[in-house]
């Protein structure tokens, strides 16, 4: 089956994180005849069953493991091609075509072309659930230590460039409390919005401190911090009683993810306002592996030099199960997560060729 036909099938199966991913898993399993497959199910926060799988050609440390998530971000109902994918002008359009069913289609196509029983060394495929809502499936598998691999390739759109390191991700909310009053008598209350403005200014200073600590492997070369949302007050004529600030930061490897949190707490303590930091998520960075055999091999196959990424991936959680891990896949992350997401068909074919070559070189 041609890789683009597999991808057309996969995109046509809706698999936003909120719903069961079993249909995608079931589809992949049908393509993996002759593999030993173990399902690792769990229930998500809403009670929906989610399934991760580990497929292996034989027992033992996997010489090569492909990892791919099965969920996608939601799509706008007005985007008619989201789950009715089409190929137009050499691009395959649809939700997940780029992030990251494109890579999954390449894995299924490449592995279908090899006689797995003939492989001397174990090859593995790991499919995960709920990557887009916090790498839930990957964390579950990492805790269980479901496999050991020498080389691991985690699929994400990198334009077929090997990626050896990535930033982490942290999300927090700051709740600023004041005291409500009639706006004609402001002295009887305390404006949470005025206080929040001081907090935001302090956050800007924290961002500057973070930016001063450079890691040249990244673009931008430091831990970025963003105040993405601010919400407060109830009416124009009420002194605001509460204001909430949503802040995220993306720590570079080698820097404790909670260093920014410490800086924020220190800054808040110096303000004399009623503001509390609540860290909701703290995903580690994807630190570069000690060896770079796999990265070098992929560099030589693709002719593209290794890079780093500023978005979070499952590599941060799963790279500990492998001696060396890279992130790699067709498509461009900047077209993902929006209507009109696509992957170039040419890159799918190129990727199938690379994956086939890697299987031959590492496992045959
Ligand atoms: Zn992804």
CA 339 to chain centre: 18
Compute the distance from residue 328 Cα to the ligand 1 centre, in Å.
Answer: 11
Q: What is the pLDDT of residues 15-74, one digit of tens each?
A: 999 999 999 999 999 999 999 999 999 999 999 999 999 999 999 999 999 999 999 999
Q: What is the pLDDT of residues 260-315, one digit of tens each?
A: 999 999 999 999 999 999 999 998 899 999 999 999 999 999 999 999 998 889 99
CB neighbour list of residue 302: distance below 8 Å, 6 or more residues apart: 160, 161, 162, 350, 354
Compute the distance from residue 137 Cα to the ligand 1 centre, in Å.
Answer: 13
Q: Helix and strand tally (H, E) in the chain?
A: 9, 17
Architecture per CATH, domain 3-166+286-363, reads as: 3-Layer(aba) Sandwich (3.40)
Compute the distance from residue 153 Cα to the ligand 1 centre, in Å.
Answer: 13
Chain mean pLDDT for the chain: 96
Residue 283 is predicted with a pLDDT of 87
Q: What is the mean pLDDT of residues 126-136?
A: 95
Compute the distance from residue 140 Cα to the ligand 1 centre, in Å.
Answer: 17
What φ, ψ does residue 11 adopt, rounded to 5°?
Answer: -65, -30
Question: E strand or H helix at 72, and its extent?
Answer: none
Is 131 a catalytic site residue? yes
Domain ranges, ordered by start, for the chain: 3-166+286-363, 169-283
Question: Which residue, 346, 350, 345, is CA-closest to 97?
Answer: 345
Q: What is the token pair recorded at 291? A: 């060896």
CA angle 151, 152, 155 (to 5 degrees): 150
Compute the distance from residue 348 Cα to the ligand 1 centre, in Å.
Answer: 16
Q: What is the pLDDT of residues 302-338, one digit of tens each?
A: 999 999 998 889 999 999 999 999 999 999 999 999 9
- Which CATH number fits the domain 169-283, given the four candidates 3.30.70.1520, 3.40.50.1100, 3.20.20.70, 3.30.70.360? 3.30.70.360
Compute the distance from residue 198 Cα to the ligand 1 centre, in Å.
Answer: 36
Q: What is the token pair recorded at 122? A: 């174990």
Compute the distance from residue 49 Cα to the ligand 1 centre, in Å.
Answer: 20
Q: How confident is the model at residue 117 (pLDDT cuts 50, 70, 90)?
A: confident
Compute the distance from residue 135 Cα to the ligand 1 centre, in Å.
Answer: 10
Q: How confident is the model at residue 78 (pLDDT cuts 50, 70, 90)?
A: very high
22, 44, 63, 71: the active-site residue: 71
22, 63, 131, 341: the active-site residue: 131
Is 71 a catalytic site residue? yes
CB neighbour list of residue 301: distance below 8 Å, 6 or more residues apart: 354, 357, 358
């Amino acid at each position: 089956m041609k890789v683009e036909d597999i991808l057309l099938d996969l995109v046509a199966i809706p698999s936003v994180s909120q719903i069961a991913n079993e249909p995608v898993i079931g589809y992949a399993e049908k393509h993996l005849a002759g593999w030993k497959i173990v399902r690792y199910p769990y229930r998500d926060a809403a009670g929906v069953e989610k399934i991760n799988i580990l497929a292996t050609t034989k027992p033992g440390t996997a010489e090569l493991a492909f990892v791919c998530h099965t969920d996608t971000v939601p799509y706008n109902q007005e985007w008619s091609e989201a789950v009715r994918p089409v190929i137009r002008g050499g691009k395959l359009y649809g939700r997940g075509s780029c992030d990251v069913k494109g890579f999954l289609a390449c894995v299924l196509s490449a592995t279908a072309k090899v006689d797995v029983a003939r492989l001397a060394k174990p090859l593995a495929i790991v499919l995960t659930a709920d990557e887009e809502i916090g790498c839930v499936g990957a964390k579950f598998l990492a805790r269980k230590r479901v496999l050991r691999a020498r080389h691991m390739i985690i699929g994400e759109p990198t334009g077929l460039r090997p990626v050896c390191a990535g930033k982490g991700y942290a999300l927090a909310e700051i709740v600023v409390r004041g005291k409500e009053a009639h706006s004609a008598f402001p002295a009887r209350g305390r404006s949470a919005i005025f206080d929040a403005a001081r907090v935001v200014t302090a956050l800007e200073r924290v961002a500057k401190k973070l930016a001063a600590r450079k890691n040249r492997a990244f673009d931008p070369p430091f831990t970025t911090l963003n105040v993405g949302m601010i919400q407060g007050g109830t009416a124009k004529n009420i002194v605001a009683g509460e204001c909430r600030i949503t802040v995220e930061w993306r720590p570079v490897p080698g820097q404790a993810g909670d260093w920014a949190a410490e800086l924020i707490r220190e800054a808040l303590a110096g303000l004399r306002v009623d503001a509390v930091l609540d860290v909701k998520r703290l995903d580690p960075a994807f630190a570069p592996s000690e060896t770079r055999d796999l990265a070098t091999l992929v560099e030589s196959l693709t002719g593209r030099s290794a890079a780093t990424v500023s978005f979070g991936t499952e590599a941060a959680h799963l790279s500990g199960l492998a001696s060396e891990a890279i992130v790699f896949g067709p498509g461009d992350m900047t077209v993902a997560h929006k209507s009109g997401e696509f992957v170039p068909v040419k890159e799918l074919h190129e990727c199938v060729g690379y994956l086939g070559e890697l299987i031959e070189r590492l496992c045959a």
